[in-house]
Amino acid sequence: MSNKQRYFRCFDGCRTAAVNSTTPLFRSYSASTQLLQQTPTLGQYDNPSRYLTPHPSNNITPHIASLVGRDLHLRPSHPIGIIRSKIQEYFISLSQSTQTNYEIFDAEDPIVTAQQCFDDLLIRPDHPGRAPSDTYYVTDSTLLRTHTSAHQSQHLRSGVDAFLCSGDVYRRDEIDATHYPAFHQMEGVKLIDPTVVCGENDISGEEWLKSPECQQVQDDLKLTLEGLMDHLFGPTTQKRWNDDYFPFTQPSFELEIMYEGEWLEVLGCGVIHEDVLQLSNRGDRRGWAFGLGLERLAMILFKIPDIRLFWTQDERFHSQFKEGCIVEFQPYSKYPPVFKDIAFWTSTIKESDDEKSVKEFVENDFFDLVRSTAGDLAERIELIDSFTHPKTGRSSRCYRISYRSMDRSLTNEEIDELQFKLRDLCPSLGCELR
């Protein structure tokens, strides 16, 4: 199943993409006065015990808990913080030309309710994105937000008409250079002036979708986001729009740009679904929303090849960046990887007095087990072999794990120790080692 299918298609469903290029890139900008902004405190949610609870539904690992509260998006000289500020600068500049003041929320609690994250956004109860195999739950009804759209309803209910909300989000995911269980998003929402487009006009459903008013909202959305791309990539940047699907917008779109010879998806967006506005007590209004991944844009603009680098403490990384400047990342080391294979039966049959039961293997559970064992030393996991035994019907998988440090050379002995620990833990997933 693809990422887009598995992740209930939140706005940055394509996640991140590494970009390799030797073309130098440098841009700088001056900071603008930020309007209506919170005063966030770095590290205010840095409390692992808050996320590692004894609740039976809790599936948060110590590795994940250690990432919460790092607030990379609030660090002015970090690539994530630089991109966030750059985008906010653009929307603040619109206050003069469009008379729209975007309130800025950068410090929302990463723990949200299932109601906020899913129900208020029309994400159905049986959607796979709500499963513990995809989402980190604190309790059965609270979780680490999987997207910044989780804050949309609360801000709309509070009476805010236009806002930007950025923060760290969490999803259980595969392991490679462009996927990480913690990353950063920005959500943008704008309700159109009710004297221009009003929700209380007895137009709904297909009639609304075909109406000139709906087209007005689309036009305003696309004009705004095309301007954002010009602000980030330059005014001559080629852009194209594709139809898309998100549960909480209708119609929905994705925006692509031509960058160094290829089309790259940079964000998802759409007209806010009528039912979402009703659930937010704003059924009398119409508007649009977008979402984008800050890592995705940072990897493109700074040419950062591995998403783990954003989380490194190595000064050789951090010393390359300063507030307000976009510069091309210069690799400072390339240590060799250490490869280890692990093979197991993925279905273990347990017999009781009157029945047989099989514990289903979930691949994301295995990925999370590797992360909790090896942390950021796990660079990539590849499925190199799988088969089903013709007589027993049991399935087997063999994975190759690439261990690599970005800061030093690894020894075979220390990786063997991690691998043995991983092997000891695999039976907890219902696997039987081969």
pLDDT tens, 274-296? 999 999 999 999 999 999 999 99
CB 374 within 8 A of CB 403: yes
Phi, psi of 271 (to 5 degrees): -80, 130
User: Domain boundary at 327, 349, 370, which?
Assistant: 327
Q: What is the pTM of this model?
A: 0.89
Q: Which residue has better confidence, 74 or 9?
A: 74
- The lowest-confidence range among 9-23, 306-320, 348-362 is 9-23
Average pLDDT over residues 332-350: 85
- Among 327, 353, 368, identify where a domain stops: 327
Classify residue 428: in a domain, yes or no.
Answer: yes
Answer whether residue 332 is part of any domain. no
Mean pLDDT of 251-265: 95
Q: Looking at residue 407, what is its pLDDT?
A: 87
CA distance 154 to 147: 14
The Cα 380–Cα 374 span in angstroms is 11
pLDDT in tens, 65-117: 999 999 999 999 999 999 999 999 999 999 878 889 999 999 999 999 999 99
Both 74 and 166 in one domain: the answer is yes
Residue 41 lies in a domain: yes
Whether residues 136 and 219 fall in one domain: yes
pLDDT in tens, 384-416: 999 998 888 889 999 999 999 988 899 999 999
Per-residue pLDDT band for 38 (boundaries 50, 70, 90) equals: low
Tokens of 341: 């294979």
Domain presence at residue 15: yes
pLDDT of residue 358: 57
Average of per-residue pLDDT across 305-328 = 96
Which two three-digit tokens encode residue 281? 């007590």
The domain that holds 142 is classified in CATH as: 3.30.930.10
251 and 356 both lie in a single domain: no
Characterise 9 by phi-psi region: left (phi > 0), alpha (psi -120 to 50), beta (else): left
Assess whether 188 and 296 both reside in one domain: yes
Q: Say what percent of the chain tops pLDDT 70.
A: 88
Same domain flag for 302 and 411: no
Looking at the fold, whether 273 and 347 belong to one and the same domain comes out as no
Answer yes or no: do 277 and 360 share one domain: no
Q: What pLDDT was estimated at residue 77?
A: 98
Residue 172: pLDDT over 60:
yes
- Quote the domain boundaries for residue 386: 338-433
Same domain, residue pair 296 and 356: no
- The answer to whether the Cα torsion of 198, 256, 124, 102 is positive or negative is negative
Pairing state between β 348-351 and 111-113: unpaired
Q: Count how many domains the chain has.
A: 2
Q: What residue has token string 């680490």?
A: 144
Judge whether 291 lies within some domain: yes
CATH number, position 357: 3.30.70.380
Residues 295 and 418 in one domain: no
Shared domain check, 114 and 184: yes
- Residues 301 and 364 reside in one and the same domain: no
Point out the domain boundary residue: 327, 351, 384: 327
Question: Binning pLDDT at 50, 70 and 90, where does residue 273 land?
Answer: very high
In a domain, 271, yes or no: yes
Q: What is the pLDDT of residues 123-161, one digit of tens each?
A: 999 999 999 999 999 999 999 999 999 999 999 999 999
In a domain, 375, yes or no: yes
114 in any annotated domain: yes
Q: Which residue has the higher pLDDT, 31 or 371?
A: 371
297 pLDDT above the threshold of 60: yes
The conformational region for residue 378 under phi > 0 = left, psi -120 to 50 = alpha, else beta, is beta
Could you tell me if 259 and 156 lie in one domain? Answer: yes
